Structure 1
Amino acid sequence: MSDRLPGHDPKIINAVEGLFAGDGVRYAAAEELIYRCMTGKGLPYVKRTAPGQDVNPTLVADSYGTPLSEASSTGYRAKEHLQTSEDGDSSGVGRLSEKDRQRWGDAFFGRDGAPVVSVTLPQGGTSETSSDGCLSEARVRLFGSLEDWLKWSTFAGSFAIEAQQQAGADSRITALNRRWADCMAEAGHKGLKDPEAAREVAARGHVLHGIGSDEAQSKEVELATADAKCDSAIGYSEKRRQIEDEFYATGLLKHESDIALLREMNDRALAEARKI
């Protein structure tokens, strides 16, 4: 059972997480296939570490609702978020010559002008990807076809984002944000439209004054404490989570047949991944 989003309906969250069931194994297998392909072309490639859990990367922790006990001691932990980063060049591509960087890009992503695969998405709109390169070869091996991978992986990745956007436009959340903003203004923090804006202000403070500076941290804690008190006063987090869960549930029901097809593809790919 997922515990990444406390306060939400666990059944609904688990169902949304389930769109990525088995993803860790598939990810590791894809990295192995890409490694074989790239090194087979005489190019460097360091495999990225697969996630330890099958989590939906777009179903992130709530950007609101920090408990008062945490807010008054550590704020939003903005410093930690700013300092968290991955090595985006673990394979050392940046150290290659210009000619070899071009070779690396062509081998990994596909050559310019290679045929493009395009699909229509269940939510509407289209998505496309190159049919060439080690990345595409790995996806074909695992998922059977680039069309299936592109359609259903894009659907899964955008599912939570779409539900969150729809919830954010709901008049009930708009009203909640107004009440929260009024409360924050009364506490001396004017001009903030929603809790996300408060977190942005806290992060900018660390950039302005230096990450980890006492001044930035003090201002962050003050802001987060006021946020937590306003949240509690109007029941912001509880109400917003209920509304967001409604939209997750509606999406799960609306796309029930699409989700079944996604799971069939993922199960087939998982079986192939375990062989690799």
Structure 2
Amino acid sequence: MKEVLVGSACAIALALLAGCSAEQPAGPAPATRPLDPTAADLVARAGSYYADEQVLQDAEATLVHRCMTTRGFRRPPPAPAAPVSHDEEWRPDPAHRRTDGYGLARAGRGEPPDPYFVALAPAHQERYQRELVGDMARRATLDLPSGPQLSYPTTGCLAESRAQLYGDVMEATRVTSVTQDLHNTVYLAAQADPEYRRTLARWADCMKRRGHPYGSPQQARNALAAERRSAAPTAAQRHEVAVAVADAECAAEVALPGTFESLLRRHAELLPEAQRAELNRLATSRAAALRHARQVAQR
């Protein structure tokens, strides 16, 4: 006859767990580490972010130039990169606005042709590209937190220069691309925040009083871009500057820059813990790259 085992739930649990007891209250949740100040600045594009970007860009250009020289391309040394613009929709730069408006005159033009590259023979242009960005068949991929997959070079002077700064080309890509991706995520969350919507409504009231009835800075840009397609260039530029300056003044009046920056920081703290930990790590890695970049400038 088949033997039947009879026992309480506790007896069964005893065999599996070597003990049985009443349900115990959960212990305290593991402490979560907040974002380090440098990581918060990185995702909010605040603090010394732009000045640091300038240092990193100049160092990368210098290292690429040295690498390409060793491969036979003796072009003039790179000039310092143009200052990284601090003018943003939520943090307008009044001086920039008074001279360039929203910068729509330059929009879509892209980078001017490189005189050195254009002067090369076609075969040398092909080799130049290969030495710069490496073997296309040996590119690697990185999955970004928001979902897209990024392809990046692992060979060539560009990859070698980034590896010198960051210690590894994948780390260089993570520092630049993962932080950008998380910034985008936080930016969209800040834009959807009710506090931003209330501030934006006050900005729109300010603009309306000044004769510019736009609901948002983006709406103003879109309207002025459309105007450029039909109005005389001089008149369109004059109108663009007037609106862009009023935009900056209204942003200051309603404290838009400070409000939005605080929202960026707040929503950065709401990222999943694993992403916050990665931001802290990447901020440390970027700080080390900055130290290397400053050494490059001194050689």
TM-score, shorter chain, exceeding 0.5: yes
Give the Cα separation in 2 of the matches to 1:79 and 1:21: 22
**Closer, same or farther in 2 for the Cα pair 1:51/1:187, shift >3 Å?**
closer
Query: Does the CA contact (< 8 Å) of 1:20 and 1:156 recur in 2?
Result: no
Q: Quick one: which of 139, 152, 170 aligns to 1:129? A: 152
Deviates more, 1:126-135 or 1:252-261: 252-261
Is 1:247 aligned with 2:247? no
**Closer, same or farther in 2 for the Cα pair 1:251/1:244, shift >3 Å?**
same
Is 1:63 aligned with 2:63? no
Pairing 1:134-153 to 2, within 5 Å after superposition: 134-153=157-176
Give the Cα separation in 1 of the matches to 2:244 and 2:172: 41
TM-score, normalised with respect to structure 2: 0.62
Is 1:34 aligned with 2:57? no
Deviation digits for residues 166-189 of structure 1 (CA, Å, limit 9, x no counterpart): 222335545666787689789987
Three-state SS of the structure 2 residue aligned to 1:61 is coil
Pairing 1:172-211 to 2, within 5 Å after superposition: 172-174=195-197, 192-206=214-228, 208-211=230-233
**Closer, same or farther in 2 for the Cα pair 1:226/1:129, shift >3 Å?**
closer
Match of 2:21 in 1: none
Query: 1:193 deviation in Å?
Result: 4.6
Query: 1:108 deviation in Å?
Result: 0.8
Three-state SS of the structure 2 residue aligned to 1:119 is strand
Is 1:101 aligned with 2:129? no
Match of 1:82 in 2: 105
**Closer, same or farther in 2 for the Cα pair 1:100/1:239, shift >3 Å?**
closer
Q: Which letter does structure 2 place at the counterpart of 1:129?
A: Y
Q: Which letter does structure 2 place at the counterpart of 1:111?
A: D
Give the Cα separation in 2 of the matches to 1:26 and 1:228: 29
Match of 2:20 in 1: none
Three-state SS of the structure 2 residue aligned to 1:197 is helix
Deviation digits for residues 242-274 of structure 1 (CA, Å, limit 9, x no counterpart): 255223333157454323312332233334331
Unaligned runs of 5+ in 1: 1-11
Three-state SS of the structure 2 residue aligned to 1:127 is strand
Q: How many residues align?
A: 250
**Closer, same or farther in 2 for the Cα pair 1:39/1:271, shift >3 Å?**
same
Q: Which letter does structure 2 place at the counterpart of 1:246?
A: L
Give the Cα separation in 2 of the matches to 1:48 and 1:38: 12
Match of 2:18 in 1: none
Match of 1:216 in 2: 236
TM-score, normalised with respect to structure 1: 0.66
**Closer, same or farther in 2 for the Cα pair 1:139/1:204, shift >3 Å?**
same
Match of 1:9 in 2: none
Is 1:43 aligned with 2:73? yes
Give the Cα separation in 2 of the matches to 1:65 and 1:138: 32
Give the Cα separation in 1 of the matches to 2:82 and 2:209: 44
Q: Which letter does structure 2 place at the counterpart of 1:42?
A: G
**Closer, same or farther in 2 for the Cα pair 1:246/1:179, shift >3 Å?**
closer
Q: Which letter does structure 2 place at the counterpart of 1:195?
A: P
Query: Does the CA contact (< 8 Å) of 2:135 and 2:155 recur in 1?
Result: yes
